[in-house]
Amino acid sequence: MSVQKSKITTDAGIGRKPKRSELQKKLTQIPISFRKNYGLLKNPEFWQMMPLLLACRMRARGLEGEKPKIFVGTHHKAMTTYFKAVLKLLAFGLNARFEDISKDAPQPKTRVFLSTHSRTPWSEIGPYRGIHIMRDPRDMIVSSYHYHLWTNELWAHVPDESGQTYQEKLQAVDKTEGLFMTIRHFIFFSRETLENWDLDDPDILEVSYDDLMGDKRDELYSEIFSFLGLKKKEHELGVRLMRLFEAGKRSKVSATKTNERAHIRSGRSGQWKDELEPAHLAYIEQELGHVLDKFGYARSSVTGSKDAV
């Protein structure tokens, strides 16, 4: 059955991106990195893991041969920064090249990569084993709204034809309209990707954000690295990195505390039930109901006016 979809555009500007030097880019990341990793160096688990990390790297140097690429595919506000931290250190331990990509194929010599929007052209990269992280789109929308109010990411500071940036627009309206803006932005950039996602790819393990935040996450960590083909010490390294970079262990911000200007807000599932209004939910189900169904997220069973969209 075909799905009726509206043509939707984003409120983000499409003009010339502001220029930033490499130094400026790094400086904008310092406050975020500090908030994200404040507790890491004080965590004894970090230092206890160093011998294992170095042992894995030394062992990897003696292993030759072609290996499948391994990756994690995420979406905006679906543990992207978490997995970037894990994969960078994992790649170091595997003596492998790491790459963070948006929509292009990784470089031929890259073995470990993060696909930040899960748009990688899989047919172009050769043998692979990967993990796809999926979160309820409604929670991604809510989390994105709060994040976009203050983010330093360049795209949010690109002016439109009137000279106004996405962030300026978002800050100029009330929360109701701001959430509608975020919904439109999500639909524009993510709907097609999610519609076309192959849930039956045998080389990609579907992993729920909810499960990664749940009480049985240690079992899931083990399953993830077994699926990626890691064994013995390398498998242990992957699991320990997942534990190490859990939000509550590395950040100044409590995993249960909401902070409007924190990169890591409350990670609990179902936030959308408290923040989205009936009109937001009706609009989401009109445009993304089939995506919710595809990934197993229950619809909200609400009706509301869509006049504000």
Contact predicate 67/111, CB 8 Å: yes
**pLDDT tens digit string along 2-26?**
566 778 888 887 655 556 666 665 5
Q: What is the pTM of this model?
A: 0.85
**pLDDT tens digit string along 140-179?**
999 999 999 998 888 898 888 888 999 999 999 999 999 9
**pLDDT tens digit string along 286-303?**
999 999 999 999 998 765
Is pLDDT larger for residue 259 or for residue 71? 71
Contact predicate 114/80, CB 8 Å: yes
**pLDDT tens digit string along 255-273?**
444 444 444 455 678 899 9
**pLDDT tens digit string along 208-221?**
999 999 889 999 99
Domain count, the chain: 1
Q: Average pLDDT for residues 58-81, to the nearest whole number?
A: 87
| Domain interval for residue 130 | 22-255+263-294
Quickly count: other Cβ atoms within 10 Å of residue 234's Cβ. Answer: 19
Length of the chain: 309
Domain-embedded: residue 8: no
Domain-embedded: residue 289: yes
Domain-embedded: residue 9: no
For residue 171, give the CATH number of its domain: 3.40.50
Which among 36-50, 240-254, 280-294 has the top mean pLDDT?
A: 280-294
Domain-embedded: residue 101: yes
Domain-embedded: residue 1: no
Q: Average pLDDT for residues 75-98, to the nearest whole number?
A: 94
Domain-embedded: residue 111: yes
Contact predicate 281/302, CB 8 Å: yes
Average pLDDT, whole number, for the chain? 86
